[in-house]
Structure 1
Amino acid sequence: MNLTGWIVYNGYLPGTKFRDFAEWIQRAAANQGIRTTIYKNNHLLSCLTSDSVGLVDTETRPDFVVFLDKDIYLARQLELMGIRVFNHAEAIAASDDKIASYQVLAAHNFPVPKTVIAPKAFYNTGADTIDDYQKAVQLLGFPLIVKEAFGSFGEQVHLIHNQQELTDTIQQLQGRSFMMQEFIASSYGQDKRLHIVGNKVVAAMRRHSASDFRSNITTGGTMEAYQPTQEEERLAIATAKVIGADFAGVDLLIGPDGTPIICEINSNAHIRNLFDCTGINAADAMMAYIQQEMRHNHGRLADLP
């Protein structure tokens, strides 16, 4: 079975980080004899008519797509065309929206920080709405975390120490989706990233910041290779599975008694830092998984009458 695939990344984001991610996947595919083509999402225009679902000016179709973006409409369009997308559009959507992630995880009794979802505001009225959040403050106490539903690299996460900071932050965020969470003080400036492929943790690292409550490398954190416990591995794998992800980066906070608490899941987790830290190229495992899944699905189709 000679597979062909597309690798899709966002063409509007600045820098070379996302192109680099795509090229890592392409090299891993080539090493396993799989021919792939890299596309920017803005070069694949979805087209809907009364009798077709397809792409503008694109006649060829791949066997599969590795989707390294959060353009959920495009991912869903490719699936409607009958193409296997890794990860599925719904898995990308569930991990991209952190509120939706926590709802799924809490509904399955996974360990998450105590969370209060901000009521929907369609635009920023400029009004002081702090009174709407007093019961949340009573429940969570200070300090607390305010986290936007959509964001990356820790940039949309705020540590709030008092009422005035909360008032100022809520006024800035009015019109956006966000939540308030208990602050896990025992995990200040540190977390653990476990990279999942299928039903396996292929690599893990511990991240630490001496100057910030966030441990993200982009905010100045450092990293070291880490061997997760069985409990952490089981939790991370189950987290990826419950949102339907084929592969994902699962970030775990450290609870007061050392037990893991889910911080977030990323369906498009970058793998260069993971490689620099651990020496493990997760792209190899990702492509081996895709090849196995495609062969399995091909075999099932061949068995149909």
Structure 2
Amino acid sequence: MKLLMLCREPRLYSCQRLKEAAESCGHQMDILDPNRFMLKLSEKPPHFDLYYQPNHEAEPYLLPDYDAVLPRFGAASTQMGCAVLQHFQAKGVACLNDVEPFLKARDKWRSLQILVQHGIGVPPSLLAGSETRAKESLELIGSPTILKTLSGSQGIGVILAESRSSASSIIETLNHSGVSVLMQKFISEAQGGDIRCFVIGTEVIATMERKGQAGEFRANIHRGGSAVPVRLSKQEKQIALSASQALGLDVAGVDLIRSSEGLLVLEVNASPGLEMIEKTSGLDIALQMILYLERKIRTKPNHNTTAR
């Protein structure tokens, strides 16, 4: 089969591993930057055309048919990346995470609302309108406070405000810049750690516990955190699985945090990294993703793999 990965950085570990896994299964995989696409709508079939311009000097060319698409683009490319993904979906191409679930997961506040609607516990969270005062908002959520921009990944856009005065100053600055921010209660008992669950379909494939480096409250590997394998109970794994399914994702990285009330879902990542989870678990997760994608293609109504 001919597969396409939407990613701006083909050299990333996750991209290279997925390409290797696809080729080991006999598939061909292209890796293209979603920001270099040109999408065309026309009144005559096939209605949805996709062109690609490799660089500013090159002429755009019409892309061939693909059997499936893997979205692996970052938060900064969400708008165009999802527009490209929608175009492929409209053409009937299988996607390893459809566009609507992907968009839900990328919006931190919307995803939290959906999780709570499905009875899944999250840290106390608050989103305030631009015409409200930070002081009153902070009284509702408490201090210390975690402040998060509504989009972002790898720990970027996440701030710990130790006092209400510092939190208020940060919120006012962000609001003045037109950046919406959600507030969450800081779960001190987590001690700067969280649990990453890697979900594929209806199974939690791997779990690891991440710890932030000294003086760092974020446990993300990109912020210098470390990870060790961790065993979760069947009930605890079900929390991660339920979170992924509530958003409708095929593949998800679900981040859990231990609190005095039990495990809570911090957030759900629709494009989770593979490097640390593969190295920590010793599992070939990239291959599991490709095998799952193969099954999705086979079960897709009226699927028709492109001829080679």
TM-score (norm: length of structure 1): 0.87
1:115 aligns with 2:108: no
Q: Which amino acid aligns with 1:74?
A: V
Q: Which runs of 5+ in 1 are unaligned?
A: 122-128
Pairwise CA distance, 1:286: 0.5
Q: 1:230 to 1:5 in 2, by over 3 A?
A: same
Q: What is the alpha-carbon distance in structure 2 between the residues aligned to residue 61 and residue 221 of structure 1?
A: 41
Q: What is the alpha-carbon distance in structure 2 between the residues aligned to residue 158 and residue 190 of structure 1?
A: 15
| Per-residue CA distance 1:13-35 (angstroms, 9 max, x = gap) | xx943xx3222111111222222
What is the root-mean-square deviation in Å for CA atoms of aligned residues? 1.9
Pairwise CA distance, 1:100: 1.0
Q: What is the alpha-carbon distance in structure 1 between the residues aligned to residue 35 and residue 270 of structure 2?
A: 20
Q: Counterpart of 2:144?
A: 143
1:271-282 aligned at under 5 Å gives the runs 271-282=274-285
Q: What is the alpha-carbon distance in structure 2 between the residues aligned to residue 295 and residue 163 of structure 1?
A: 54
Q: What is the alpha-carbon distance in structure 2 between the residues aligned to residue 41 and residue 105 of structure 1?
A: 29
Percent identity for Structure 1 against Structure 2 = 25
Pairwise CA distance, 1:59: 4.2
Q: Which moved further from structure 2: 239-248 or 65-74?
A: 65-74
Q: Which moved further from structure 2: 40-49 or 281-290?
A: 40-49
Counterpart of 1:105 (choices 104, 115, 119) is 115
Q: Counterpart of 1:55?
A: 50
Q: What is the alpha-carbon distance in structure 2 between the residues aligned to residue 169 and residue 193 of structure 1?
A: 28
Q: 1:171 to 1:61 in 2, by over 3 A?
A: same
Q: Which runs of 5+ in 2 are unaligned?
A: 52-60
1:33 aligns with 2:26: yes
TM-score (norm: length of structure 2): 0.86
Q: What is the alpha-carbon distance in structure 2 between the residues aligned to residue 59 and residue 7 of structure 1?
A: 13
SS at match of 1:6: strand
Q: What is the alpha-carbon distance in structure 1 between the residues aligned to residue 19 and residue 37 of structure 2?
A: 18
1:81 aligns with 2:91: yes
1:130-279 aligned at under 5 Å gives the runs 132-174=133-175, 175-209=178-212, 210-257=214-261, 259-279=262-282
| Per-residue CA distance 1:127-186 (angstroms, 9 max, x = gap) | xx7x62333222221111111111111121111122320222012211112111111111
Q: 1:29 to 1:301 in 2, by over 3 A?
A: closer
Which aligned segments of 4 or more residues in structure 1 are displaced greater than 3 angstroms? none
1:13-24 aligned at under 5 Å gives the runs 16-17=11-12, 20-24=13-17
* Number of residue pairs aligned between Structure 1 and Structure 2: 284
1:92 aligns with 2:95: no
Q: Counterpart of 1:68?
A: 72
Q: What is the alpha-carbon distance in structure 1 between the residues aligned to residue 303 and residue 97 of structure 2?
A: 21
Contact 2:138 2:168 in 1 (8 A): no
SS at match of 2:133: helix
Q: What is the alpha-carbon distance in structure 1 between the residues aligned to residue 249 and residue 239 of structure 2?
A: 14
